[in-house]
């Protein structure tokens, strides 16, 4: 009888909390780590949570963003906004739990992977210019901790690549 009650209880709980159940008992650092890996699955999990933030309210994540800071969010029309938001999320939340230095390189690598996945959605003709900008944005955060280090000359170089592609 007790076994039957336990089975009914487990099945009921699984029905009530089907998605995200793996995170239900995880601590904030574990969830944060799962959402800041340089994989598409990690980015998808973060984005799903971003779209349903109320579900994660008990973790007190900082979802604020200034997108790509002082650099363009959509340089030359390439939309880096969501990648920048994901990067901000990693930086802000690792700083909040006091483990930023140990996680900075991985969050920067996640950012670069997000940017490259975004670039892969553009046509092969303009993709090299997008990858060039993705590398520039990655180098800025990796080396200087900020996209403010992106220079106009970096944007001009990518612009020249686009012009060359259009001339072909």
Residue 102 lies in a domain: yes
Residue 110 lies in a domain: yes
- Marked catalytic residue, from 87, 103, 114, 154: 87
* Spatial separation of the C-alpha atoms in residues 23 and 33, rounded to whole Å: 11
Residue 70 lies in a domain: yes
pTM of the predicted model as reported, rounded to 2 decimal places: 0.80
Backbone angles phi, psi at 119, to 5 degrees: -60, -35
List the CATH number of the domain containing 131. 1.20.90.10
- pLDDT single digits (tens) 30-78: 999 999 999 999 999 999 999 999 999 999 999 999 999 989 999 999 9
Domain boundaries, position 106: 26-167
Q: Number of structural domains, the chain?
A: 1
- pLDDT single digits (tens) 131-156: 999 999 999 999 988 777 788 888 88
Residue 86 annotated in active site: no
Residue 93 lies in a domain: yes
User: What pLDDT shows up at residue 158?
Assistant: 87
- Are 33 and 46 spatial neighbours (Cβ–Cβ below 8 Å)? no
- pLDDT single digits (tens) 100-130: 999 999 999 999 999 999 999 999 999 999 9
Residue 124 lies in a domain: yes
């Amino acid at each position: 009888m007790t076994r039957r009650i336990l089975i009914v209880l487990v099945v009921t709980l699984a029905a009530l909390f089907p998605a995200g159940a793996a995170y239900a008992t995880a601590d904030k650092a574990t969830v944060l780590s799962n959402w800041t890996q340089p994989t598409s699955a990690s980015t998808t999990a973060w984005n799903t949570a971003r779209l349903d933030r109320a579900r994660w309210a008990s973790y007190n994540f900082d979802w604020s963003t200034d997108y790509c800071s002082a650099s363009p969010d959509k340089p030359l029309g390439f939309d880096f906004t969501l990648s920048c938001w994901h990067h901000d999320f990693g930086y802000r939340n690792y700083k909040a739990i006091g483990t930023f230095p140990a996680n900075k390189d991985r969050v920067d690598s996640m950012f670069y992977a997000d940017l490259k996945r975004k670039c892969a959605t553009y046509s092969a003709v303009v993709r090299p210019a997008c990858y060039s900008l993705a590398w520039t944005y990655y180098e800025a955060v990796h080396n200087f901790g900020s996209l403010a280090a992106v220079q106009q000359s970096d944007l001009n170089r990518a612009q020249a690549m686009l012009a060359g592609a259009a001339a072909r």
